[in-house]
Structure 1
Amino acid sequence: MSNSILYLLTVLIWGSTWIAINYQLGDVAPEASVSYRFLLAAIILFVFVKVKHLPMLFSLKQHALFAAFGVCLFGMNYLLLYNAQQHINSALSCIAFSTLMLMNIINAKVFFKTHITKQVYFGGAFGLFGIVTLFWPQLTDVHLGTATFLGLGLCLLGTFSASMGNMLSIKNQKNHIPIVQANAWGMLYGAIFTSLAVVVQGKQFTFSFEPAYLTSLVYLSLFGSVIAFGCYLSLMTRIGSHKTSYANIIFPAIAVLISTVVEGFAWSEYTVIGLSFVLLGNIVVLTKTETLQRLFSFKQAAKV
């Protein structure tokens, strides 16, 4: 697939997963639902690997990387974010998670000496400003206190865990490990980790056979995990983690657009301004530097 298709699939799928996640909340412990999600996703990938006769034998060192990758991206990340939302509203957690792009920029420079252009910084700043503006009405209801700082701290730790998972995925691909096999093992280890978290916290492995729960579980496993993570992690090797992670800024905007159609979300001036800046940041980050330079030169010449 082209980079554009991979990016589009990522933001469209993750922009719609919030609907499915709503159907996961209820009688089943969130940690158990996360475990079911990634276990089913791992099974789907293992079946695919078996059908395609792809190699699955890896060294203990490689499995250690798979385990670290899975725990960071498919385990700890989700556990911390779910716990964070018990203390803060979804708007604040969404903004905190949008800092993933900044964390990926720093980590890519530290671990892989990745050169970051000015347009990525500018685009990221536009995007973050857009997200803050988009959710500003909800932010005005936030009351600073111990619970808020605890939730924000957990959310930032979860985001950092996701960033480290991103870096481990890049390392796996640089070591020529196919992304399908790496994701299969990573999601299995992530499911095991979240299962252990359920046991340690003394929660129960209940299950719901309600159609809404089952349908959302399949959607989150197949589309939200197998396909979206496959697209997202493939893009990181192609265009860099700093550019790919802008998807985490734009998919909340996609969620707002979907909510407009599905739930009749009412737009305000904050919605228009926020979405405009998110879109502008997306254009700045993903447009080739040469194209932006030519466009800017053309505007300057037109003024003269």
Structure 2
Amino acid sequence: MNNTLLYVITVLIWGSTWIAINYQLGEVAAEVSIVYRFGLAALCMFAYCRFKKLPLKFSAKQHLQLSAFGLTLFGFNYYLLYNAQAHINSALTSIAFSTLMMINILNARVWFKTRISSRVYYGGALGLMGIVTLFWPQISNVHFGDSTLLGLGLCLIGVVFASTGNMISIKNQHDNMPVLPATAWGMMYGSLFMFVVALVQGQTFNFSYTFEYISSLLYLSIFGSVIAFGCYLTLLARIGAHKASYATIMFPAVAVVISSFFEGFIWDSYTFIGLSLMLAGNLVVLAKPGMLKRFNSTSLKQVSCSDAK
């Protein structure tokens, strides 16, 4: 797949997973549902790798790296974000998680000496402004007490773990570990970690046999994990973590559109302005420099022609 298609698939799938996550909450503990999600995703990915005859054997040193990959991206990250949701609303969670792009920029500089162009910073700033504007009605009613600060803290720490997992994934590919087999092992290690966490917490490994729970679990495992992570982690190595992670800023845009159809979400001026800023930031970050130069030169010519007239 080309990079554009990988990016679009990632944004559309992860932007829609919030509906499925809603059906996961309730009868089954969140930690247990995460075990089921990534355990099933790992099995599916192992089966696919076996079918495609992709290499699944790694050295002991590589397995240590893969376990760190799994614990950061599929373990600590999700555990902290789920716990953060108990203290803050989804709007604050979206804003806090969207900082992944900025943290990835810093980490890419530290880990790989990646030089970041100024337009990536400008685009990221536009995207963050768009998310804040989009959720401003919910944010303006938030009281920043101890519980809210705790939730934001947990969420930001979770984002740091997620960014670390992103960097390890890039290193995996630099070390010639194929994406899908490495991700399969990472998901398995993440699932095992969450299994231990659930045991320590005394959670019951029950299961909900309702259509909503099973269908949402399948969607999160196959689409939200196997396909979306496969696309996203491939993008990390191809276009860089700073560009690929702009997808996290676009998720709320997809969620708002879906909510308009399924939940009757009513658009207002904040919605239009917020989405416009997010799309503008997306264009600035992902467009090729030559395209922006041509756009600017064309705009200048049009202005010059209009002045001449």
With the shorter chain as reference, the TM-score category is over 0.9
**Residue 248 (structure 2) pairs with residue 283 (structure 1):** no
Which residue of 1 is the match for residue 261 of structure 2? 261
Which residue of 1 is the match for residue 129 of structure 2? 129
Code of the residue aligned with 2:199 in structure 1: it is V
- TM-score normalised per structure 1: 0.99
Which residue of 2 is the match for residue 241 of structure 1? 241
Which residue of 1 is the match for residue 307 of structure 2? none
In 1, distance between residues paired with 2:29 and 2:141? 27
In 2, distance between residues paired with 1:211 and 1:298? 54
Code of the residue aligned with 2:119 in structure 1: it is Q
Superposition pairs of residues 142-157 of structure 1, within 5 angstroms? 142-157=142-157
Unaligned runs of at least 5 residues, structure 2: 305-309
Which residue of 2 is the match for residue 106 of structure 1? 106
SS in 2 for 1:116: coil
Code of the residue aligned with 1:203 in structure 2: it is Q
Instruction: Map Cα deviations across residues 94-129 of structure 1 (whole Å, 9 max, x no partner).
Output: 100000000000000000011101110010000000
Offset, 1:300: 2.3
Root-mean-square deviation (CA, aligned residues, Å) is 0.7
Which residue of 1 is the match for residue 214 of structure 2? 214
Code of the residue aligned with 2:59 in structure 1: it is S
In 2, distance between residues paired with 1:198 and 1:80? 13
Superposition pairs of residues 21-40 of structure 1, within 5 angstroms? 21-40=21-40
Instruction: Map Cα deviations across residues 45-72 of structure 1 (whole Å, 9 max, x no partner).
Output: 1111111222211101100011000000
Offset, 1:298: 2.3
Code of the residue aligned with 1:186 in structure 2: it is G
Offset, 1:141: 1.7
Code of the residue aligned with 1:285 in structure 2: it is V
Code of the residue aligned with 1:185 in structure 2: it is W
In 1, distance between residues paired with 2:130 and 2:50? 44
Which residue of 1 is the match for residue 184 of structure 2? 184
**Residue 97 (structure 2) pairs with residue 97 (structure 1):** yes
Offset, 1:283: 0.6
In 2, distance between residues paired with 1:303 and 1:210? 61
Which residue of 1 is the match for residue 175 of structure 2? 175
- TM-score normalised per structure 2: 0.97
Code of the residue aligned with 1:211 in structure 2: it is F
Which residue of 1 is the match for residue 292 of structure 2? 292
- Aligned length, in residue pairs: 304
Instruction: Map Cα deviations across residues 164-217 of structure 1 (whole Å, 9 max, x no partner).
Output: 000000000000100010000000000000011101112211111111100000
Aligned-pair identity in percent equals: 60
